């Protein structure tokens, strides 16, 4: 999911005309979407790490 939002942001910036006065809106939305996706991904990874049952480590 994170990669989809990054790809969308890249596409949005590449296909827009960055010389228009409203270009900052496209860039801002792309950045917010990407940061939100990364935040979501990190939250999911954190929940997966803490949600697993811990198995005892074998003694050496």
Q: 42 vs 25, 37, 38, CA distance in Å?
A: 26, 9, 6
Residue 54: pLDDT above 60?
no
- Residue ranges covered by each domain of the chain: 2-49
Residue 59: pLDDT above 70?
no
List, in sequence order, the alpha helices (H) in the chain: 2-15, 23-51
Query: pTM higher than 0.75 for the full model?
Result: no
Q: Which of left, alpha, beta for 30 (phi over 0: left; psi -120 to 50: alpha)?
A: alpha
Residue 60: pLDDT above 70?
no
Percentage of the chain modeled with pLDDT above 70: 77
Contacts of 53 (CB under 8 A, 6+ apart): none
The radius of gyration of the chain's CA atoms, rounded to the nearest angstrom, is 19
């Amino acid at each position: 999911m994170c990669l989809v939002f990054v790809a969308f942001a890249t596409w949005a910036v590449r296909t827009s005309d960055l010389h228009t006065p409203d270009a900052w809106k496209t860039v801002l939305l792309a950045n917010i979407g990407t940061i939100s996706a990364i935040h979501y991904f990190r939250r999911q990874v954190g929940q997966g790490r803490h949600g697993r049952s811990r198995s005892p480590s074998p003694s050496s």
